[in-house]
Structure formats: C-alpha cells, structure tokens
Amino acid sequence: MKKRKQERQKLLKETIFENPFITDGELAEQFQVSIQTIRLDRLELSIPELRERIKHVAKRTFDDVKALYADEVIGEIVDLQLDQSAISILEIKKEHVFTRTGIARGHHLFAQANSLAVAVIDDELALTAKANIHFVRQVQVGERVVAKAKVMQVERVRTMVEVNSFVGSENVFKGSFTMYRSHLEGGNNHEVSN
C-alpha cells in the first residue's frame, strides 16, 4: 500500500510539472482516486492548488507585457511570446454569469480574448481597430476558459491576431482582431509562418 502511494505521488508530481494547469478533478480521474486523496497528496508534496499555480506562472509571464497593466488583463496570462502567441486562463465564477441561468456573459469571454490580443503585441500602444467574433457555445459557471492567441500577420501599424477559447478541448469562442500598434521597427510587412 505504501509503495503504491509513493508511486502515485511521484507520477502526480511529474504530471503537474508537465501540466501545471491540470485540476484536482482531472488528476483524481487520471489516477482513479478521490479528489480528497489528490489534495492530501499535493499537501504532502507541498504542491500548491491550481489557482496558486496559475498565479505563479502568470506573475512570471506578465513582466513581458508592454501594452497593458496587470489589472487591465481579463484572465491570467500563462504564456506569452510577443508578436507570436499567448495563452490566458479565466475561471468562470458567479460574478461572470447571469444569475438565473448560470451562463457566462459574453462580454467576459470577449474581454479575455481582446485583452490577450492586446497583450501579445510587442508595442507600448496596442488598440483594437476591428473585431470579428463568434460565440460557439455557452459557457457555464465553474468552467475554465483557456484562450489562445496567435499572431497571423504583422504590418507597420496593424497586427492581425486570431484568438480561440476552449473549455477542455471544446472550442467555445473564436475571434479575429485587427490591432492598431504605434509603430514597428523596420516598417516591413510580413506574414507570420505557421
């Protein structure tokens, strides 16, 4: 019994290291134990809960953002490659949803995507010039939305950014943003390779 626990904790530590954004529920399912067992394992291993892991990664990542202050970002930015790609996570809480239905208000999903499109721009000034958005499915209270931004084209004063938001592997929001930027060194237009 003791050896099995040690093996599980070793694998748990490796799993969280590889994916710091995995939930206790997902871990419990993966290891076929209760959520309480996962929480106890994390405590014994001094691994913080998901919210603290996200904040830790976001704090390290945010230092690279040029166009926004930390309190202007909707969600937690957990990965950022300026003028290339970015990822943010937004936990849908009671304050994000309609009271009667528990469905997230669309402006929160838009704000997460839009602020990520601004954050990915390698410039002091980045503004949304145009947005084409599509809400694919409703998002419920308690769900975690992972937004992924990809820079598609960089021009002298405009950058095209695509943002797709997911709950698990299911796409819930799509957006194409044309972002105004104050300048770009060199001034040459170029396509971003995939």
Query: Which residues contact residue 191 at a Cβ distance below 8 angstroms, ignoring those fewer than 6 apart?
Result: 152, 153
Residue 94 lies in a domain: yes
Residue 104 lies in a domain: yes
8 or 191, which is more confident: 8
pLDDT for 1 beyond 80:
no
* Residue 43 and residue 82 in one domain: no
Give the number of domains in the chain: 2
* Residue 25 and residue 80 in one domain: no
Residue 61 lies in a domain: no
Q: Using one digit for the tens of pLDDT, what is the confidence trace for 61-109?
A: 555 677 777 678 899 888 888 899 998 999 999 999 999 999 999 999 9
Model-level pTM? 0.69
Residue % of the chain over a pLDDT of 70: 85
Query: What is the overall mean pLDDT for the chain?
Result: 85
pLDDT of residue 128: 94
**∠ Cα 89 55 132 (to 5°):** 25
- Where residue 40 sits, what CATH number does that domain have? 1.10.10.10
pLDDT for 114 beyond 60:
yes
Distance linking the first and last C-alpha atoms of the chain: 48
pLDDT of residue 77: 86
Query: Cβ distance 112 to 89 under 8 Å?
Result: no
Residue 15 lies in a domain: yes
Could you identify the residue written with the tokens 């694998």?
11
* Residue 155 and residue 77 in one domain: yes
H or E segment to which residue 160 belongs? strand 158-167
Q: Which stretches within the chain are classed as H helix?
A: 2-18, 24-31, 35-44, 50-62, 106-119
Hey, what are 192's tokens? 């971003």
* Residue 82 and residue 35 in one domain: no
Query: Cβ distance 27 to 38 under 8 Å?
Result: yes
pLDDT for 183 beyond 70:
no
What does residue 23 show for φ and ψ, rounded to 5 degrees?
A: -85, 165
The domain in which residue 33 lies consists of 2-47
* Residue 161 and residue 111 in one domain: yes
How far is Cα 97 from Cα 94, in angstroms, rounded to an integer?
A: 6
Q: How confident is the model at residue 187 (pLDDT cuts 50, 70, 90)?
A: very low
* Residue 35 and residue 104 in one domain: no
Residue 179 lies in a domain: yes
* Residue 98 and residue 176 in one domain: yes
Q: What single-letter amino acid sits at 160?
A: M
Hey, what are 123's tokens? 């410039």
Q: Using one digit for the tens of pLDDT, what is the confidence trace for 35-69?
A: 899 989 988 888 878 777 766 655 555 556 777 77
